[in-house]
């Protein structure tokens, strides 16, 4: 199973993430009035972050380089192919970390953090 990260100019196909974490944070304000009553207001979403991690086992160096380039170019990326299709939408990459696995063997473990660009309709 794979999923794909695509921009207008390039795409990277990776193995389906081993771990996936989705966090939505809302700006909730608590207003306290002089009569002692209070009111809670949702001021909107402050972040909608998708994090996943996994292994890169093929085209290792090129795949990592492509994601770095997407970030350097400030590109909006489109995710497709995730099992939860609700997550297949547009994002900006907040961070991308990877490290070697098994000494000098050509395999990277990685984690990626994405900020969602559009709400699901």
Partner 1 sequence: MTFTITQQPNSANLYLYPNGSSATDLTAFGETENYECVDDIWHTSNDDTDYVYSSASSTVSDWYTLEDHTTETGTINYVQITSKVRSVDAALSSSATYKLIIDDTSSTSLSDSFTDINTTYSIKSNVWTTKPSGGAWTWTDIDNLKAGILHSSASSEGDNISSSFLPTANGDLNQFTRTLGTGAHWELVDDPIDSPDTNTRIWPNHDDDNEYELFQVANHDPAIHAGTISKIRVYFRLTHDTGDTAQLAGTVRVGSTTDTGTYYSGGVYPAWETKYEEWVTNPDTSSAWTWSDIDSLQIGVRTGNVGVNDTCAFTQVYLIVYHTKIFPEIRTTQCYAVVNYDPPASTVTLNTPMTLSASHSRKIGRVTFPDGSYEVDDYGRAGKSLKITGHETSSAAANMQKLKDMCHYGEKVTIAGLPDSNHNTDYMIRNFSYKQAGGMVDRYIWSLDLEED
Positions touching partner 1 (CB under 8 A) are 27, 43-48, 60-61, 64-65, 67-68, 71-72, 74, 92-100, 103-104, 106, 113, 115-117
CB of 36 to partner 1, least distance (A): 28
How far is Cα 19 from Cα 61, in angstroms, rounded to an integer?
A: 21
For residue 120, count other CB atoms closer than 10 A to its CB. 9
Closest separation between CB of residue 57 and partner 1, Å?
Answer: 14
Q: Which two tokens stand for residue 109?
A: 């473990």
Instruction: Name the minimum Å distance from CB 99 to partner 1.
Output: 3
- Based on CB atoms, which residue is closest to partner 1, 30 or 104? 104
d(CA 27, CA 20): 23
Nearer to partner 1 by C-beta: 36 or 44? 44
Residue-wise over 62-92: b if at least 16 C-beta within 10 A, else e? ebbebbeebbeeebebbbeebeeeebebebe
Task: Closer to partner 1 by CB, 83 or 115: give it.
Answer: 115
35 vs 42 by CB, closer to partner 1: 42
């Amino acid at each position: 199973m794979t999923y794909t990260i695509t921009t207008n100019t390039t795409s990277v196909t990776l193995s389906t993430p081993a771990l996936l974490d989705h966090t939505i944070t809302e700006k909730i304000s608590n207003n306290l009035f002089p009569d002692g009553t209070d009111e809670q207001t949702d001021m909107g979403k402050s972040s909608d972050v998708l994090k996943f991690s996994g292994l890169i086992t093929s085209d290792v160096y090129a795949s990592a380089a492509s994601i770095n380039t997407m970030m350097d170019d400030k590109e909006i990326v489109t995710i497709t192919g995730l099992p939860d299709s609700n997550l297949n939408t547009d994002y900006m990459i907040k961070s991308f970390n990877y490290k070697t696995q098994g000494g000098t063997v050509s395999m990277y473990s990685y984690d990626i953090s994405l900020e969602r660009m559009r709400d699901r309709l």
